[in-house]
Structure 1
Amino acid sequence: MQLTTLRQSQIRARLASACALALLLPLQAYAEKKSNKDLALIDQCSSHYQAAERDSLKLINDKLLFLEGPTWSVTDQAFYFSEMNFSGSQLNGPDANIYQYKLNDKPTLWLAHSGSNGLLAEGDDLYVLKHSDRSVSRINLSTQKQTVVVNQFNGKPFNSPNDISRHSNGGIYFSDPDWQLSERKNELNSTSVFWLPAQGTLVEIDQLNKPNGIVLSPDEKWLYVGDYSNHIYRYPVNDDGSVGQRQPFIDVDGPDGITIDCAGNLYVASHSQGKLQIYSPEGLLYQSITVAPQITNMDFGGKDMKTLLITTGNGLFTLQTKMAGIAR
């Protein structure tokens, strides 16, 4: 009887191990495909959601202005984020600065008058979505040399590029609402989501009502996009990074920035409610955490990728999580 029980225990253990391995294999394959250590500690990823520690929410700074676009740089072991000033001239959108924040230190000004909103660190570069010149640009982290990646579609300028996500093949997805267009003309007569292959022509994925947050799933099978109509949509992603037809996913009150953890759980900034909403890959609401009014965005960072930097219109915060994040 004892021997039978032991064997049953061994079988159960092997089955559990096999299931865990099956869940992790797509992520491991993704990590190998990326060949980047700045993704996440994939081998520490749990398929079961572990709640973020509400009591770990910490105010880092409340002296800056309206904050947006956080990203983690593995190269510099630091976060970068944008600050926008809506009280001055809005001729080319709000004046903006980029700050650097190293954990356990104070945010420091990194680049003044950057004209930026969303940011994405990748290797030695920082992708910058700029409302000032209506471009997606790239800035070298060492020299601060700027290069325009793309600034128009069909010969017409973008509105005010907002948020970005990157495919492992080097292509980028980005949203182009008109939040910081100011009095400039919307020459596209739309607000859209775009896909720029590493080698190829810019593609308009979809036209939405002021699309905002955008993120790719860890296995690169789904692209998630939020818009002003309180919807978050998902799009099936092909092996080459191209995208299929829009599918309804979840509704969120005033969705702003979106990020994702290694298990594919979505972290959504509900701008209207001042809350961080966390959803399963199936759209189940796992957790809702009140942060601050006008929460805008968040991104994972730190050595274990379990520190969430949260930007708002009223301060900069960190939150400790038990799930590791991945590079966007």
Structure 2
Amino acid sequence: MKVTITFILIICMLYAKGQTEGKLILIGDQFTFTEGPAVDSKGNVYFTDQPNNSIWKYTFDGQLEVFLEPAGRSNGLYIDKDDHIIACADEKNELWRISPQGKVEVLLDHYKGRKLNGPNDVWVSPAGGYYFTDPHYQREYWTRKGKEIEEEALYLFQDDVLTQLDADFIKPNGIVGAADGRLLYVADIRADKTYVYDIDEKGTLVNKKLFCSQGSDGMTIDRKGNVYLSGKGVTVYNAQGQKIHHIDVPANWTANVCFGGKEKEYLFITASEKIFKIYPDW
């Protein structure tokens, strides 16, 4: 009897999966502007509603709840191996580490005595290095006007040392690295280009190459090495930089993406006032 019930459950799960493959599923549309989806070790997805100064949590079993408010006007997020959220806290141009219980630690807010432009997106390497982009988007809630750092650059924060890695961008934005820590992808959204670097054993970036002639707001990478760029929907490139798929998203702007769920089986998409998930079928 047990074998029969198990078999029926498996069939039902496969049928349900088949019914949703390749179809956008709306999770919520009560936000103002969603950003920064990131997944923890259990498959829960956290994302920001920046204008409303909050971080939300969507659990792997489908519950949607506020995790942190206020949240430093956080934008891009990434979750480290200890399930701490690394947040680009835009209100005061800081990088935060947030514990699973919601305790905030400010990691940094300046480079060589000058205020950062505004950390935007971040990726944490397996070695524990925090790579982040620092473009300048003037915010209405800032008291300061203009930049203290002229370069809009890519940085690495590792072993309590902040290093400017590359300043040859117009406006760096989306960033993601390969799971094995050997490759880093960075988008120059204003130049409409995405680059790929090799990461050496010290965490230094080498061999910068053009990956594709498309920029991106936020981005992610799947188990096959396909790279997902956001903006007008989601565009998928294979590891060789060839376009293989496009997801039309019914929103003015698609800001960011990540994989989440119990098996990291769903692609989560933050798009204007909405958040979606989709089970890839490509």
CA–CA separation in structure 1 for the residues paired with 2:64 and 2:263 = 20
1:213 deviates by 0.6
* Residue in structure 1 matching 2:48, options 82, 88, 93: 82
* Residue in structure 1 matching 2:99, options 110, 127, 140: 140
Q: Superposed, which structure 2 residues align to 1:1-328 within 5 Å? A: 53-54=21-22, 56-75=23-42, 77-85=43-51, 95-114=52-71, 115-122=73-80, 123-142=82-101, 144-179=102-137, 181-182=139-140, 184=144, 185-197=146-158, 199=159, 201-207=161-167, 208-227=169-188, 228-252=190-214, 254-269=215-230, 271=231, 274-292=232-250, 293-321=252-280
2:127/2:181 contact within 8 Å kept: no
CA–CA separation in structure 1 for the residues paired with 2:139 and 2:172 = 14
Give SS of 1:81's match: strand
Which amino acid is 1:307 matched to?
Answer: Y
Aligned counterpart, 1:40: none
Of Structure 1 and Structure 2, the greater helix share is in: 1
1:291 deviates by 1.1
1:218 deviates by 2.8
CA–CA separation in structure 2 for the residues paired with 1:200 and 1:128 = 16
Which amino acid is 2:136 matched to?
Answer: D
1:231/1:250 contact within 8 Å kept: yes
Give SS of 1:298's match: strand
1:172 deviates by 1.1
CA–CA separation in structure 2 for the residues paired with 1:265 and 1:111 = 32
1:196 deviates by 1.6
Structure 1 residues 257-286: Cα deviation after superposition (integer angstroms, max 9, x where no partner): 1100122110111x1xx2211111110111
Structure 1 residues 269-309: Cα deviation after superposition (integer angstroms, max 9, x where no partner): 1x1xx221111111011101101320000111112111111
Aligned counterpart, 2:16: none
1:118/1:129 contact within 8 Å kept: yes
Identity rate, percent? 30
1:221 deviates by 2.3
Which amino acid is 1:202 matched to?
Answer: L
1:160/1:181 contact within 8 Å kept: no
2:126/2:179 contact within 8 Å kept: no
Count of aligned pairs: 255
Which amino acid is 1:250 matched to?
Answer: C
Change (3 A) 1:106 1:64: farther
CA–CA separation in structure 2 for the residues paired with 1:116 and 1:109 = 14
2:221/2:228 contact within 8 Å kept: yes
CA–CA separation in structure 2 for the residues paired with 1:250 and 1:262 = 19
1:159/1:181 contact within 8 Å kept: no
Give SS of 2:205's match: coil
When Rg is computed on C-alpha atoms for both structures, the one with the higher figure is 1
Change (3 A) 1:240 1:101: same
Give SS of 2:186's match: strand
CA–CA separation in structure 1 for the residues paired with 2:281 and 2:221 = 13
1:67/1:83 contact within 8 Å kept: yes
1:249 deviates by 1.5
Unpaired segments of 5 or more residues in structure 2?
A: 1-19
Change (3 A) 1:200 1:136: closer
Give SS of 1:255's match: coil
Unpaired segments of 5 or more residues in structure 1?
A: 1-51, 86-94, 324-328
CA–CA separation in structure 1 for the residues paired with 2:139 and 2:94 = 12
